């Protein structure tokens, strides 16, 4: 007999000893835990664990969505600041350069300037191109801001502006 067996009462069940709590009884057997009760405890544990994990994942998703929104806002702000910095650098370079001719470029044309600004701010290029097409402007000029504005479009805008001015004078 081993040392632990010598300390056990002869009528103690082996399962009780294994779990560390010897039950001394005179021939009385400890009844097993009912199977229904075990299943109920297990079910309760699973339900509570699933509820906890669902709440945890919901909170995590909300926090990730908030972080994503904050990152987008920071990126937009960064794009705006870069555009401002580039415009101040560009204006300093333009002042130092003396142009031989006064040619209206795409960057200087107010119709195209707003679209170039949208590109700098980070608006999707395809959306800008579609809007330009719907307004009758050439979307390929977005890639060449220093290109001269096509002559036909200047005449068209001067005609439109004179028409709009005459309609107000009546």
The string of pLDDT tens digits covering residues 136-158 is 888 888 888 777 877 644 444 44
Find out whether 147 and 121 touch, Cβ atoms under 8 Å. no
pLDDT value at 9 more than 70:
no
- Give the whole-angstrom CA distance, residue 30 versus residue 13: 8
Q: What pLDDT does residue 6 have?
A: 52
Summarize the confidence of residues 29-55 as an average pLDDT: 90
CA dist 18 and 108 (Å) reads 89
pLDDT category of residue 159 using cuts at 50, 70 and 90: very low
At 164 the pLDDT is 47
pLDDT digits (tens, 9 = 90+) for 61-119: 999 999 999 999 999 888 888 888 888 876 656 555 544 356 777 778 888 888 888 88
Residue, of 107 and 39, whose pLDDT is higher: 39
Q: C-alpha angle with apex 57: 74 to 73, nearest 5 degrees?
A: 10
pTM exceeds cut of 0.75: no
């Amino acid at each position: 007999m081993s040392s632990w067996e010598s300390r056990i009462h002869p009528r103690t069940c082996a399962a009780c000893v294994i779990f560390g709590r010897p039950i001394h009884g005179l021939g009385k057997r400890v009844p097993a835990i009912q199977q229904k009760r075990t299943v109920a405890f297990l079910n309760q544990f699973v339900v509570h664990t699933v509820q906890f994990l669902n709440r945890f994942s919901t909170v995590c998703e909300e926090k990730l969505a908030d972080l994503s929104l904050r990152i987008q806002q920071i990126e937009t702000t960064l794009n705006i600041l870069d555009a401002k910095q580039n415009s101040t650098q560009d204006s300093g370079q333009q002042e130092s350069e003396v142009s031989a001719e006064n040619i209206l470029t795409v960057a200087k044309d107010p119709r195209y300037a707003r679209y170039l600004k949208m590109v700098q701010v980070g608006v999707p290029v395809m959306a800008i191109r579609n809007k330009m097409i719907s307004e009758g402007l050439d979307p390929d000029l977005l890639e060449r801001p220093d290109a001269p504005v096509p002559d036909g479009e200047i005449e068209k805008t001067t005609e439109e502006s004179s028409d709009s001015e005459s309609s107000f004078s009546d």
